Amino acid sequence: MNTLTLSNSDARRLFLDRHALSEAPVGDARKADLLQLIGRLGFVQLDSINTVARAHDLILFARRPRYRPKALKSLYEKDRALFEHWTHDAAVIPMEYYAWWQLRRQRDAEKLRKQWKSGRRGGFETQFQTILDQIRDQGPVCSSDVGAGEKRGSGGWWDWHPSKTALEYLWRSGALCVVGREGFRKRYDLTERVVDAALCNAPLSEDHQRATIDWCCAGALERLGFATPTELAAFWDHITLAEAKEWCAQELASGHLQPVQITCADGSARHSFARPDIAADPALDRQPTKRLRVLSPFDPALRDRKRAERLFGFEYRIEVFVPEARRKYGYYVFPILQGDRVVARVDMKAFRNEDVLRVKALWPEPGLRWGKGRQADFEAELARLIRLAGVSKVEFDDGWLRL
């Protein structure tokens, strides 16, 4: 079979199209329209850091500037159109995908029993029935509502007393669902009260496992455009690399995949797989919008840092956990996308008590000119962003433009 070569420009166009970043960021962002966007992305990662806006809100805002956080909260907590579980991290996922997480829940159950059997988490299994009875009698709970009398630390995310561990285990393995958050603390309820029985009781047979692997790989490829087996396995993060490799081999043999060489930003080639009709994909003829937009560090287009570096020549590492003296840029720095290029990164924060979004520093990418036109585009984006950030004005620190 002949190997198709995609130029770097074509690869970027495909990738941005699949991540809903090629078209102009317009359109409704409520109810069915918001759910359709989340389904197109596959999931939206949740994160609590709120320097400008939380990651999930900025991910959706970057694609639909009419988005408001209460729309996601309603879709998740009121309409039950989304459920929360893990991909590579905690995420909200369309409820229609719930049955495809059955394999993940089973594998999590096996893995977490081994990981959490000792230390302060030890004995968590003895709390299962107590917690289930409490929720059945009293309704949804947070971790602070369970484990009365157990020894606790300071109450942070690391404070894994047995009852909190039991809550997390029952959620990850399927007996409980997260039904919302209070101050970003998860609220848990019985799955039987939240999820339709037809989705809960899908049989986990060998055929179902094969179907899940097929769904995961096909869905990942649809959202990536082209991928290696490693990238397919990592997308949802609940099948193994061996399973992804076997799926690629079978699809290649049946003519449902073709090998492609992706030209990277540095001119090197990356062997991947794509669907046979990839050369006729409409995205190849679509010029990405020139609208400048700020992306979350957890944006799905940048989640795979190595892939982003290969495609865009953009090296990015989040420095939240890097000591301040060793940071190259800043605590929480936002990439800036324009057209098919990541053009800069910006360190900024909303000071809500001062009603201001303060731009501390911006670094254009090497070789890129930050002229008056791009500055105007940046200021226009900030004017849109301040409403999401909950402030009314923007200020620039002295020496903010780092050339």
Note down the domain range covering 362.
292-396
Q: For residue 171, what pLDDT is reported?
A: 97
Residue 152: pLDDT band (50, 70, 90) is low
User: Cβ–Cβ contacts within 10 Å for residue 208, how many?
Assistant: 16
Distance in angstroms (rounded) separating the CA atoms of residues 45 and 82: 12
**pLDDT tens-digit map of 338-384:** 999 999 999 999 999 999 999 999 999 999 999 999 999 999 999 99
7 phi, psi to nearest 5 deg = -65, 165
Geometric angle at alpha carbon 35, from 30 and 41, rounded to 5°: 125
The structure tokens listed for 272 are 């991947």
Least confident of 3-17, 29-43, 102-116: 102-116
Query: Does 328 fall in a domain?
Result: yes
Element (H, E) at 194: helix 191-194
In the listed set 174, 193, 212, which residue is the last one of a domain according to the structure?
A: 193
Residues 6+ apart with CB under 8 A from 172: 85, 86, 105, 108, 109, 112
Distance in angstroms (rounded) separating the CA atoms of residues 181 and 170: 17
For the cut 80, the answer to whether the pLDDT of residue 286 exceeds it is yes
- Cβ contact 52:385 at 8 Å: yes
Q: What is the DSSP string of 67-81?
A: --HHHHHIIIIIS--
Q: For residue 115, what pLDDT is reported?
A: 86
Distance in angstroms (rounded) separating the CA atoms of residues 67 and 75: 12
Given strand 393-396, what is the order of strands in its sheet?
Answer: 293-294, 333-338, 341-351, 356-364, 393-396
Q: For residue 204, what pLDDT is reported?
A: 65
- Cβ contact 34:75 at 8 Å: yes
Q: Which CATH number characterizes residue 124's domain?
A: 1.10.10
Q: For residue 194, what pLDDT is reported?
A: 95
- Cβ contact 378:393 at 8 Å: no
Residue 254: pLDDT band (50, 70, 90) is very high
Query: Does 230 fall in a domain?
Result: no
Percent of the chain with pLDDT over 90: 85
Least confident of 130-139, 143-152, 243-252: 143-152
Q: Which residues of 56-89 are buried (b: 16+ CB within 10 A; e: fewer)?
A: bbbbbbbbbbebbeebbeebbeeeebbbbbbbee
Helix, strand or coil for residue 329? Answer: coil
Report the pLDDT averaged over residues 63-71.
96
Report the pLDDT averaged over residues 96-102.
95
User: Cβ–Cβ contacts within 10 Å for residue 216, how many?
Assistant: 23
Distance in angstroms (rounded) separating the CA atoms of residues 190 and 169: 13
Query: Does 353 fall in a domain?
Result: yes
Q: Which CATH number characterizes residue 386's domain?
A: 3.40.630
* Number of domain units in the chain: 2
Least confident of 104-113, 149-158, 222-231, 336-345: 149-158
Torsion angle of alpha carbons 220, 221, 223, 228, nearest 10°? Answer: 90
Strand locations in 9-110 (E): 44-45, 82-86, 90-94
Report the pLDDT averaged over residues 87-98.
96
Query: Does 223 fall in a domain?
Result: no
Query: Does 239 fall in a domain?
Result: no
Q: For residue 119, what pLDDT is reported?
A: 65
Element (H, E) at 198: helix 197-200
What is the chain's mean pLDDT, rounded?
A: 93
Q: For residue 157, what pLDDT is reported?
A: 47
Least confident of 25-29, 90-94, 106-110, 149-153: 149-153
Report the pLDDT averaged over residues 272-282.
97
Return the HEC string of 134-171: HHHHHCCECHHHCCCCCCCCCCCCCCCCHHHHHHHHHH
For the cut 80, the answer to whether the pLDDT of residue 278 exceeds it is yes
Residue 61: pLDDT band (50, 70, 90) is very high
**pLDDT tens-digit map of 190-248:** 999 999 988 887 666 778 889 999 999 999 999 999 999 999 999 999 999 999 999 99
In the listed set 140, 158, 193, which residue is the last one of a domain according to the structure?
A: 193
Query: Does 17 fall in a domain?
Result: no
Query: Does 16 fall in a domain?
Result: no
Q: For residue 176, what pLDDT is reported?
A: 97
Residue 117: pLDDT band (50, 70, 90) is confident
In the listed set 193, 208, 238, which residue is the last one of a domain according to the structure?
A: 193
Distance in angstroms (rounded) separating the CA atoms of residues 47 and 68: 16
**pLDDT tens-digit map of 288-313:** 999 999 999 999 999 999 999 999 99
Query: Does 280 fall in a domain?
Result: no
Axis-axis angle for helices 128-138, 162-173 (nearest 10): 80
Least confident of 4-8, 162-166, 271-275, 307-311: 162-166
- Cβ contact 263:7 at 8 Å: yes
For the cut 70, the answer to whether the pLDDT of residue 325 exceeds it is yes
